[in-house]
Amino acid sequence: MGDNTIYSRRNTAIDMLRGLTMFIMIFVNDFWKVHGVPHWLEHATYGEDFMGLADIVFPCFLFAVGMSIPYAIERRYAKGFSAESTLGHILSRTFALLVMGAFITNSEFRLSPEAPYPIGVYWFLMAIGFIGVWNQYPKPASEAQKNLFRIFKIIGVLVLLYLAFTFRNPKGGVFGAYWGILGSIGWTYLVCAVIYFFGRDRLKFLLPVWAAFVLICLLGTPLREEFGGEPILAFPEQNFYYGMLGVLHIGNGALPAFTMGGMILSILSARYAGNAGGWKLRNGLLAAALLLLAGIVAHYFWIVAKIGSTPPWVFYVSAISVALYTLLDYLASHRVTAWFNLIRPAGTATLTTYLVPYVFYGFADVTGIILPDWFTHGFMGLINCLCFAFVVIGVTWVMEKLHVKLKI
Protein backbone atom coordinates (compact mmCIF):
# COMPACT_ATOMS: atom_id res chain seq x y z
CA MET A 1 0.00 0.00 0.00
CA GLY A 2 1.49 3.27 -1.19
CA ASP A 3 2.54 6.47 0.47
CA ASN A 4 -0.39 8.87 0.19
CA THR A 5 1.92 11.89 0.42
CA ILE A 6 2.77 11.43 -3.27
CA TYR A 7 -0.83 12.45 -4.01
CA SER A 8 -0.70 15.60 -1.90
CA ARG A 9 0.20 17.94 -4.76
CA ARG A 10 -2.49 18.81 -7.29
CA ASN A 11 -1.84 17.24 -10.67
CA THR A 12 -2.39 20.10 -13.12
CA ALA A 13 -2.26 17.76 -16.10
CA ILE A 14 -5.37 15.93 -14.86
CA ASP A 15 -7.22 19.26 -14.59
CA MET A 16 -6.06 20.06 -18.12
CA LEU A 17 -7.22 16.68 -19.44
CA ARG A 18 -10.59 17.01 -17.72
CA GLY A 19 -11.02 20.63 -18.83
CA LEU A 20 -10.10 19.96 -22.45
CA THR A 21 -12.40 16.94 -22.56
CA MET A 22 -15.30 18.90 -21.04
CA PHE A 23 -14.76 21.80 -23.45
CA ILE A 24 -14.95 19.43 -26.43
CA MET A 25 -17.97 17.70 -24.86
CA ILE A 26 -19.90 20.99 -24.67
CA PHE A 27 -18.84 21.71 -28.27
CA VAL A 28 -20.06 18.38 -29.71
CA ASN A 29 -23.18 18.23 -27.52
CA ASP A 30 -24.32 21.48 -29.17
CA PHE A 31 -24.35 19.98 -32.68
CA TRP A 32 -28.08 19.24 -32.41
CA LYS A 33 -28.93 22.87 -33.20
CA VAL A 34 -26.78 23.19 -36.35
CA HIS A 35 -26.71 21.55 -39.76
CA GLY A 36 -24.02 20.27 -42.08
CA VAL A 37 -21.59 19.08 -39.38
CA PRO A 38 -18.70 17.08 -40.93
CA HIS A 39 -19.17 13.38 -40.29
CA TRP A 40 -15.75 12.99 -38.65
CA LEU A 41 -16.93 15.26 -35.82
CA GLU A 42 -20.19 13.41 -35.16
CA HIS A 43 -21.20 10.12 -33.57
CA ALA A 44 -21.05 7.04 -35.75
CA THR A 45 -24.41 5.53 -36.67
CA TYR A 46 -25.50 2.11 -35.39
CA GLY A 47 -23.43 -0.67 -36.94
CA GLU A 48 -21.02 1.73 -38.65
CA ASP A 49 -17.33 0.86 -38.46
CA PHE A 50 -16.29 4.40 -37.55
CA MET A 51 -15.28 6.61 -34.63
CA GLY A 52 -15.92 10.36 -34.79
CA LEU A 53 -14.71 13.03 -32.38
CA ALA A 54 -18.03 12.85 -30.51
CA ASP A 55 -17.42 9.12 -29.90
CA ILE A 56 -14.12 9.85 -28.16
CA VAL A 57 -15.16 12.51 -25.65
CA PHE A 58 -17.22 10.48 -23.16
CA PRO A 59 -14.67 7.65 -22.70
CA CYS A 60 -11.87 10.22 -22.40
CA PHE A 61 -13.83 11.80 -19.59
CA LEU A 62 -14.23 8.40 -17.92
CA PHE A 63 -10.46 8.01 -18.20
CA ALA A 64 -10.03 11.41 -16.50
CA VAL A 65 -12.46 10.31 -13.76
CA GLY A 66 -10.23 7.32 -13.13
CA MET A 67 -7.14 9.52 -12.93
CA SER A 68 -8.79 11.59 -10.20
CA ILE A 69 -9.79 8.65 -7.98
CA PRO A 70 -6.38 7.89 -6.37
CA TYR A 71 -5.80 11.58 -5.61
CA ALA A 72 -9.28 12.04 -4.12
CA ILE A 73 -9.18 8.94 -1.90
CA GLU A 74 -5.57 9.25 -0.76
CA ARG A 75 -6.07 12.90 0.15
CA ARG A 76 -9.03 11.93 2.32
CA TYR A 77 -6.85 9.43 4.19
CA ALA A 78 -4.06 12.01 4.49
CA LYS A 79 -6.56 14.41 6.11
CA GLY A 80 -7.51 11.77 8.67
CA PHE A 81 -10.86 10.61 7.28
CA SER A 82 -11.77 7.03 8.17
CA ALA A 83 -12.31 4.18 5.73
CA GLU A 84 -16.03 4.17 6.59
CA SER A 85 -16.27 7.90 5.87
CA THR A 86 -14.45 7.45 2.56
CA LEU A 87 -16.77 4.64 1.47
CA GLY A 88 -19.73 6.80 2.42
CA HIS A 89 -18.27 9.63 0.33
CA ILE A 90 -17.99 7.29 -2.68
CA LEU A 91 -21.63 6.26 -2.28
CA SER A 92 -22.87 9.84 -1.87
CA ARG A 93 -21.01 10.96 -5.02
CA THR A 94 -22.51 8.06 -6.94
CA PHE A 95 -25.99 8.92 -5.68
CA ALA A 96 -25.59 12.55 -6.74
CA LEU A 97 -24.49 11.58 -10.26
CA LEU A 98 -27.38 9.13 -10.61
CA VAL A 99 -29.94 11.71 -9.48
CA MET A 100 -28.56 14.42 -11.78
CA GLY A 101 -28.36 11.94 -14.64
CA ALA A 102 -31.99 10.91 -14.11
CA PHE A 103 -33.29 14.49 -14.20
CA ILE A 104 -31.29 15.38 -17.31
CA THR A 105 -32.10 12.16 -19.18
CA ASN A 106 -35.83 12.31 -18.44
CA SER A 107 -35.88 15.84 -19.87
CA GLU A 108 -34.49 14.54 -23.16
CA PHE A 109 -37.85 12.83 -23.75
CA ARG A 110 -39.35 16.35 -23.60
CA LEU A 111 -42.71 16.99 -21.90
CA SER A 112 -46.34 16.16 -22.36
CA PRO A 113 -48.61 19.18 -23.10
CA GLU A 114 -50.34 18.27 -19.83
CA ALA A 115 -47.21 18.98 -17.78
CA PRO A 116 -47.62 22.12 -15.63
CA TYR A 117 -44.58 23.81 -17.19
CA PRO A 118 -42.69 23.89 -20.52
CA ILE A 119 -39.35 22.15 -20.92
CA GLY A 120 -37.48 25.45 -20.52
CA VAL A 121 -38.95 25.99 -17.05
CA TYR A 122 -38.12 22.37 -16.18
CA TRP A 123 -34.45 23.04 -17.03
CA PHE A 124 -34.43 26.25 -14.98
CA LEU A 125 -35.92 24.52 -11.96
CA MET A 126 -33.59 21.55 -12.41
CA ALA A 127 -30.59 23.90 -12.29
CA ILE A 128 -31.97 25.63 -9.19
CA GLY A 129 -32.50 22.26 -7.52
CA PHE A 130 -29.01 20.98 -8.35
CA ILE A 131 -27.37 24.18 -7.14
CA GLY A 132 -29.45 24.26 -3.96
CA VAL A 133 -28.53 20.70 -2.99
CA TRP A 134 -24.97 20.35 -4.27
CA ASN A 135 -23.52 23.85 -4.27
CA GLN A 136 -20.13 24.21 -2.60
CA TYR A 137 -21.24 26.81 -0.07
CA PRO A 138 -18.55 28.94 1.57
CA LYS A 139 -17.74 28.29 5.21
CA PRO A 140 -20.57 29.96 7.17
CA ALA A 141 -19.51 33.03 9.10
CA SER A 142 -22.35 32.76 11.59
CA GLU A 143 -25.09 30.43 12.77
CA ALA A 144 -27.63 32.46 10.77
CA GLN A 145 -25.65 31.94 7.57
CA LYS A 146 -25.32 28.23 8.33
CA ASN A 147 -29.10 27.99 8.69
CA LEU A 148 -29.54 29.95 5.44
CA PHE A 149 -27.42 27.40 3.57
CA ARG A 150 -29.53 24.63 5.08
CA ILE A 151 -32.67 26.36 3.82
CA PHE A 152 -31.15 26.59 0.32
CA LYS A 153 -30.48 22.83 0.38
CA ILE A 154 -34.03 22.09 1.56
CA ILE A 155 -35.43 24.30 -1.20
CA GLY A 156 -33.27 22.43 -3.71
CA VAL A 157 -34.60 19.07 -2.54
CA LEU A 158 -38.21 20.30 -2.67
CA VAL A 159 -37.76 21.69 -6.19
CA LEU A 160 -36.35 18.38 -7.43
CA LEU A 161 -39.15 16.42 -5.75
CA TYR A 162 -41.71 18.71 -7.38
CA LEU A 163 -40.17 18.08 -10.81
CA ALA A 164 -39.99 14.34 -10.25
CA PHE A 165 -43.64 14.04 -9.18
CA THR A 166 -45.08 16.37 -11.84
CA PHE A 167 -42.97 15.24 -14.81
CA ARG A 168 -44.85 13.67 -17.71
CA ASN A 169 -43.24 12.72 -21.00
CA PRO A 170 -45.09 13.06 -24.36
CA LYS A 171 -46.46 9.50 -24.00
CA GLY A 172 -47.84 10.25 -20.55
CA GLY A 173 -45.08 8.33 -18.79
CA VAL A 174 -43.85 9.41 -15.38
CA PHE A 175 -40.35 10.23 -14.17
CA GLY A 176 -38.19 7.13 -14.69
CA ALA A 177 -34.83 5.73 -13.62
CA TYR A 178 -32.97 6.67 -16.81
CA TRP A 179 -29.35 7.46 -15.99
CA GLY A 180 -27.84 8.83 -19.20
CA ILE A 181 -24.27 10.08 -19.41
CA LEU A 182 -23.96 11.25 -15.79
CA GLY A 183 -25.51 8.03 -14.53
CA SER A 184 -23.10 5.94 -16.59
CA ILE A 185 -20.27 7.96 -15.09
CA GLY A 186 -21.77 7.42 -11.63
CA TRP A 187 -22.04 3.63 -11.91
CA THR A 188 -18.58 3.32 -13.45
CA TYR A 189 -17.11 5.59 -10.78
CA LEU A 190 -18.74 3.44 -8.07
CA VAL A 191 -17.30 0.20 -9.46
CA CYS A 192 -13.78 1.55 -9.88
CA ALA A 193 -13.68 3.67 -6.70
CA VAL A 194 -14.76 0.67 -4.61
CA ILE A 195 -12.07 -1.43 -6.30
CA TYR A 196 -9.52 1.25 -5.40
CA PHE A 197 -10.95 1.47 -1.87
CA PHE A 198 -10.02 -2.17 -1.30
CA GLY A 199 -6.90 -2.36 -3.45
CA ARG A 200 -5.50 1.15 -2.97
CA ASP A 201 -2.57 1.85 -5.31
CA ARG A 202 -1.28 -1.73 -5.50
CA LEU A 203 -0.75 -2.21 -9.22
CA LYS A 204 -0.35 -5.98 -8.82
CA PHE A 205 -4.05 -5.93 -7.91
CA LEU A 206 -5.33 -3.16 -10.20
CA LEU A 207 -3.63 -4.29 -13.42
CA PRO A 208 -5.32 -7.73 -13.43
CA VAL A 209 -8.67 -6.05 -12.75
CA TRP A 210 -8.18 -3.78 -15.78
CA ALA A 211 -7.19 -6.86 -17.82
CA ALA A 212 -10.34 -8.64 -16.61
CA PHE A 213 -12.56 -5.78 -17.81
CA VAL A 214 -10.81 -5.82 -21.20
CA LEU A 215 -11.22 -9.60 -21.37
CA ILE A 216 -14.94 -9.31 -20.62
CA CYS A 217 -15.18 -6.84 -23.51
CA LEU A 218 -13.21 -9.10 -25.86
CA LEU A 219 -15.27 -12.19 -25.04
CA GLY A 220 -18.68 -10.52 -24.93
CA THR A 221 -18.66 -8.26 -28.01
CA PRO A 222 -20.03 -9.65 -31.29
CA LEU A 223 -17.31 -10.27 -33.88
CA ARG A 224 -17.43 -8.98 -37.46
CA GLU A 225 -19.95 -10.70 -39.75
CA GLU A 226 -17.16 -12.52 -41.59
CA PHE A 227 -16.21 -14.14 -38.27
CA GLY A 228 -19.78 -15.18 -37.51
CA GLY A 229 -21.18 -12.00 -35.95
CA GLU A 230 -21.47 -13.61 -32.51
CA PRO A 231 -19.49 -13.05 -29.30
CA ILE A 232 -16.67 -15.47 -28.52
CA LEU A 233 -18.46 -16.23 -25.24
CA ALA A 234 -22.08 -16.61 -26.31
CA PHE A 235 -24.65 -17.54 -23.67
CA PRO A 236 -28.44 -17.67 -23.86
CA GLU A 237 -29.89 -14.21 -23.22
CA GLN A 238 -31.00 -15.04 -19.66
CA ASN A 239 -27.99 -16.35 -17.72
CA PHE A 240 -26.15 -15.85 -14.47
CA TYR A 241 -23.02 -14.35 -16.09
CA TYR A 242 -24.82 -11.53 -17.90
CA GLY A 243 -27.04 -11.05 -14.88
CA MET A 244 -24.09 -10.50 -12.58
CA LEU A 245 -22.44 -8.09 -15.02
CA GLY A 246 -25.68 -6.15 -15.05
CA VAL A 247 -26.13 -6.14 -11.27
CA LEU A 248 -22.55 -4.96 -10.77
CA HIS A 249 -22.98 -2.35 -13.55
CA ILE A 250 -19.95 -3.67 -15.41
CA GLY A 251 -21.80 -4.05 -18.71
CA ASN A 252 -19.47 -5.48 -21.33
CA GLY A 253 -16.45 -4.19 -19.37
CA ALA A 254 -15.64 -1.28 -21.69
CA LEU A 255 -16.60 1.67 -19.46
CA PRO A 256 -14.85 0.44 -16.29
CA ALA A 257 -11.81 -0.43 -18.46
CA PHE A 258 -11.46 3.26 -19.33
CA THR A 259 -11.71 4.37 -15.71
CA MET A 260 -9.41 1.62 -14.43
CA GLY A 261 -6.90 2.59 -17.13
CA GLY A 262 -7.02 6.18 -15.87
CA MET A 263 -6.44 5.02 -12.29
CA ILE A 264 -3.41 2.98 -13.29
CA LEU A 265 -1.88 5.84 -15.30
CA SER A 266 -2.55 8.23 -12.41
CA ILE A 267 -0.71 5.95 -9.95
CA LEU A 268 2.24 5.55 -12.30
CA SER A 269 2.33 9.31 -12.90
CA ALA A 270 2.37 10.01 -9.15
CA ARG A 271 5.06 7.42 -8.44
CA TYR A 272 7.38 8.67 -11.16
CA ALA A 273 6.55 12.37 -10.86
CA GLY A 274 10.19 13.12 -10.03
CA ASN A 275 11.55 11.53 -13.19
CA ALA A 276 12.75 13.66 -16.08
CA GLY A 277 10.10 14.99 -18.46
CA GLY A 278 11.71 13.24 -21.41
CA TRP A 279 11.56 9.87 -19.63
CA LYS A 280 7.85 10.29 -18.85
CA LEU A 281 7.10 11.51 -22.37
CA ARG A 282 8.89 8.58 -23.97
CA ASN A 283 7.28 5.92 -21.79
CA GLY A 284 3.82 7.49 -21.96
CA LEU A 285 3.89 7.59 -25.74
CA LEU A 286 5.23 4.02 -25.80
CA ALA A 287 2.23 2.87 -23.71
CA ALA A 288 -0.09 4.76 -26.07
CA ALA A 289 1.58 3.10 -29.07
CA LEU A 290 1.08 -0.36 -27.55
CA LEU A 291 -2.61 0.37 -26.94
CA LEU A 292 -2.90 1.66 -30.51
CA LEU A 293 -1.31 -1.55 -31.79
CA ALA A 294 -3.78 -3.60 -29.71
CA GLY A 295 -6.59 -1.57 -31.28
CA ILE A 296 -5.31 -2.24 -34.80
CA VAL A 297 -5.16 -5.99 -34.12
CA ALA A 298 -8.61 -5.97 -32.48
CA HIS A 299 -10.02 -3.95 -35.39
CA TYR A 300 -9.38 -6.94 -37.65
CA PHE A 301 -11.88 -9.00 -35.64
CA TRP A 302 -14.35 -6.33 -34.41
CA ILE A 303 -15.66 -3.07 -35.85
CA VAL A 304 -14.78 0.13 -34.01
CA ALA A 305 -17.99 1.53 -32.57
CA LYS A 306 -19.09 3.45 -29.50
CA ILE A 307 -22.56 1.91 -29.89
CA GLY A 308 -21.71 -1.59 -28.77
CA SER A 309 -18.57 -0.52 -26.88
CA THR A 310 -16.31 -2.67 -29.05
CA PRO A 311 -12.71 -3.65 -28.14
CA PRO A 312 -11.07 -1.49 -30.87
CA TRP A 313 -12.98 1.51 -29.50
CA VAL A 314 -11.64 0.75 -26.02
CA PHE A 315 -8.04 0.38 -27.20
CA TYR A 316 -8.07 3.37 -29.58
CA VAL A 317 -9.61 5.78 -27.07
CA SER A 318 -7.34 4.50 -24.28
CA ALA A 319 -4.36 5.17 -26.56
CA ILE A 320 -5.64 8.69 -27.26
CA SER A 321 -6.23 9.33 -23.53
CA VAL A 322 -2.76 8.13 -22.52
CA ALA A 323 -1.06 10.10 -25.30
CA LEU A 324 -3.05 13.26 -24.55
CA TYR A 325 -2.37 13.09 -20.80
CA THR A 326 1.34 12.42 -21.47
CA LEU A 327 1.60 15.50 -23.70
CA LEU A 328 -0.33 17.65 -21.22
CA ASP A 329 1.88 16.45 -18.36
CA TYR A 330 4.94 17.33 -20.43
CA LEU A 331 3.54 20.82 -21.05
CA ALA A 332 2.70 21.23 -17.35
CA SER A 333 6.21 20.16 -16.32
CA HIS A 334 7.60 22.88 -18.61
CA ARG A 335 5.04 25.42 -17.32
CA VAL A 336 3.37 25.78 -20.72
CA THR A 337 -0.05 26.22 -19.14
CA ALA A 338 -1.15 29.78 -19.97
CA TRP A 339 -3.48 28.49 -22.71
CA PHE A 340 -5.34 26.42 -20.10
CA ASN A 341 -6.60 29.58 -18.37
CA LEU A 342 -9.13 29.98 -21.22
CA ILE A 343 -10.89 26.76 -20.25
CA ARG A 344 -9.74 26.25 -16.63
CA PRO A 345 -13.27 26.31 -15.12
CA ALA A 346 -14.16 23.28 -17.26
CA GLY A 347 -11.40 21.36 -15.46
CA THR A 348 -11.99 22.64 -11.93
CA ALA A 349 -15.80 23.17 -11.92
CA THR A 350 -16.73 20.35 -14.28
CA LEU A 351 -20.25 19.63 -13.05
CA THR A 352 -21.20 23.30 -13.16
CA THR A 353 -19.88 23.48 -16.72
CA TYR A 354 -22.02 20.47 -17.65
CA LEU A 355 -25.13 22.09 -16.15
CA VAL A 356 -24.82 25.61 -17.64
CA PRO A 357 -25.90 24.66 -21.20
CA TYR A 358 -29.29 23.57 -19.88
CA VAL A 359 -29.79 27.05 -18.43
CA PHE A 360 -29.11 28.52 -21.89
CA TYR A 361 -31.41 25.99 -23.56
CA GLY A 362 -34.10 26.77 -21.00
CA PHE A 363 -33.74 30.50 -21.65
CA ALA A 364 -34.03 29.95 -25.41
CA ASP A 365 -37.15 27.80 -24.95
CA VAL A 366 -38.92 30.24 -22.61
CA THR A 367 -38.09 33.36 -24.65
CA GLY A 368 -38.49 31.78 -28.08
CA ILE A 369 -35.18 33.25 -29.20
CA ILE A 370 -33.69 31.42 -32.19
CA LEU A 371 -30.40 31.95 -33.97
CA PRO A 372 -30.31 33.40 -37.49
CA ASP A 373 -30.31 30.70 -40.16
CA TRP A 374 -26.88 31.68 -41.52
CA PHE A 375 -25.35 30.92 -38.12
CA THR A 376 -26.60 27.32 -38.02
CA HIS A 377 -25.11 25.78 -41.18
CA GLY A 378 -21.72 24.34 -42.08
CA PHE A 379 -18.63 26.23 -40.99
CA MET A 380 -20.60 29.02 -39.30
CA GLY A 381 -22.58 26.38 -37.39
CA LEU A 382 -19.32 24.98 -36.01
CA ILE A 383 -18.22 28.51 -35.05
CA ASN A 384 -21.57 28.86 -33.30
CA CYS A 385 -20.94 25.69 -31.25
CA LEU A 386 -17.35 26.74 -30.50
CA CYS A 387 -18.46 30.18 -29.28
CA PHE A 388 -21.16 28.53 -27.17
CA ALA A 389 -18.55 26.32 -25.47
CA PHE A 390 -16.45 29.38 -24.57
CA VAL A 391 -19.53 31.28 -23.33
CA VAL A 392 -20.53 28.32 -21.13
CA ILE A 393 -17.06 28.26 -19.58
CA GLY A 394 -17.16 32.03 -19.09
CA VAL A 395 -20.49 31.78 -17.27
CA THR A 396 -19.07 28.96 -15.13
CA TRP A 397 -16.17 31.25 -14.18
CA VAL A 398 -18.59 34.03 -13.18
CA MET A 399 -20.65 31.59 -11.14
CA GLU A 400 -17.52 30.46 -9.29
CA LYS A 401 -16.79 34.08 -8.39
CA LEU A 402 -20.34 34.28 -6.99
CA HIS A 403 -19.71 31.12 -4.91
CA VAL A 404 -21.92 28.97 -7.12
CA LYS A 405 -20.10 25.72 -7.90
CA LEU A 406 -21.48 22.21 -7.90
CA LYS A 407 -19.40 19.83 -5.83
CA ILE A 408 -20.23 16.27 -4.88
Rounded to a whole number, what is the largest CA-CA distance in the chain?
A: 70
Q: Please, is 25 exposed, middle or buried when counting C-beta atoms within 10 Å of its C-beta (0-12, 13-18, 19+)? A: buried
Specify whether the CB–CB gap between 169 and 107 falls below 8 A. no
To the nearest whole percent, how much of the chain has pLDDT over 90? 76
Helices 203-220 and 180-199: crossing angle in degrees, nearest 10, is 140
Half-sphere exposure of 70 (CA within 13 A, CB side): 34
Q: Kindly report the CA angle at 56 between 280 and 196, in degrees rounded to 5?
A: 60
Could you state, in order of their start, the residue ranges of all structural domains in the chain? 4-401
Helices 12-29 and 350-367: crossing angle in degrees, nearest 10, is 20
- Look at residue 244 in the predicted model and tell me its pLDDT: 87
- 252-274 pLDDT, tens digit per residue, is 999 999 999 999 999 999 998 88
Q: How many CB atoms lie within 10 A of CB 90?
A: 21
Residue 1 has pLDDT above 80, yes or no: no
Question: Which alpha helices (H) appear in 53-179, and where do they start and end?
Answer: 53-78, 83-107, 119-134, 143-166
State phi, psi for 83 to the nearest 5 degrees: -65, -40
CA 295, 296, 298, 304 torsion-angle sign? positive
Specify whether the CB–CB gap between 350 and 18 falls below 8 A. yes
Confidence of residue 4 (pLDDT cuts 50, 70, 90): low
Q: Is the pTM of this model over 0.85?
A: yes
- Amino acid (1-letter code) at residue 127: A
Element containing residue 181 per DSSP (H, E): helix 180-199
Residue 192 has pLDDT above 80, yes or no: yes
